Amino acid sequence: MKAMILAAGFGTRLRPLTNTIPKPLLPVGGMPLIVWNLLLLRVFGIRQVMVNLHYMGHLIREALGDGTQWDMEISYSLEPEILGTGGGLKAAARFFEGQPFLIINGDIIIDLDVQAVVDFHCQRKGMATLVLRDDPDVDRWGPVECDANQQILRINGRGKSTLLSEFQVFRRMFTGVHIIDPELLHPEQEGVAFSIIDTYTRSLAHGYNLFGFVHAGYWSDVGTPERYRQAQADAESGKFLVVSRKLSRYT
């Protein structure tokens, strides 16, 4: 399976840190944030990765190169105008050759068993699998509502019209990791800025099956100065267990 790292954002909430360096290159535990994501993919056998670029994208490209230092193949999708999470995927769709692919936000660190997510997606045969987690602040992040079979019903209150009272509903938050079938990305969306969440909610409303994989391990959205400081402390204390135990062969 191929993968894409979303790295085109402005990092506005981390200014002034991101005035001169793009957020994906901010160091965490002595390594750029985006490299944690690259190595997570590499540890689980994903070697072909697309990275989308906009804000100071040339610095990201200079830092990562073609990926040979990690025995990977890194390609780039430059967005002269930022296209959002959905538009960015659509712009790079040819890279995935019509096959499902994994996406990870470039501003998170997650201690994830990627192979388990891939296996789950293949077994459930849905159009997409979103990696979810329990969080007491789920409403702040935006709830993803699933039934007991881990089938997604609604995202941010939108999706299937079935009365939720008919199901036992579990409300979780989206981690920013997902697998998508490119069939959900329509030809008319080429060059258009849009959110992949809008695509998901429309797909749910039209009866497509999407599933939620529940992740119970470490996760951090490095989106604010406070969370950035916490991620640095977590790296120093060795909380990224799945990744850090296996990284020595690639670093």
Instruction: Convert the pLDDT of each residue in 53-74 to its tens digit.
Output: 998 889 999 999 999 999 999 9
Confirm whether 190 is domain-assigned.
yes
Greatest alpha-carbon span in the chain = 53
The answer to whether residue 72 sits within a structural domain is: yes
pLDDT at 249: 54
Sign of CA dihedral 156, 162, 165, 168: negative
117 found inside a domain: yes
Angstrom distance (rounded) from CA 177 to CA 51: 14
Q: The domain that contains 29 carries what CATH number? A: 3.90.550.10
pLDDT of residue 219: 93
Is residue 247 assigned to a domain? Answer: no
Indicate whether 251 belongs to any domain. no
Q: What is the pLDDT of residue 166?
A: 59
171 part of a folded domain: yes
Start-end of H helices in 49-113: 57-64, 84-91
CA angle 105, 124, 44 (to 5 degrees): 45
At residue 137, the pLDDT reads 86
- Structural domain includes residue 245: no
Number of domains in the chain: 1
Note whether residue 249 is domain-resident. no
C-alpha dist (Å) from residue 190 to 83, 105, 183, 198: 10, 21, 13, 15
Q: What is the pLDDT of residue 245?
A: 52
The DSSP bridge partners found for residue 179 are 102, 129
Domain with 67, as residue range(s), is 3-238
**pLDDT, one tens digit for every residue, the chain (251 residues):** 999 999 998 877 878 777 888 999 999 888 899 999 999 999 899 999 999 999 888 999 999 999 999 999 999 999 998 899 999 999 998 999 999 999 999 989 998 999 999 999 999 999 999 999 999 888 888 899 999 999 999 999 888 766 555 568 899 999 999 999 988 988 767 788 899 999 999 999 999 999 999 999 899 988 888 888 888 888 887 776 545 555 555 55
* Predicted local confidence at residue 31, as pLDDT: 87
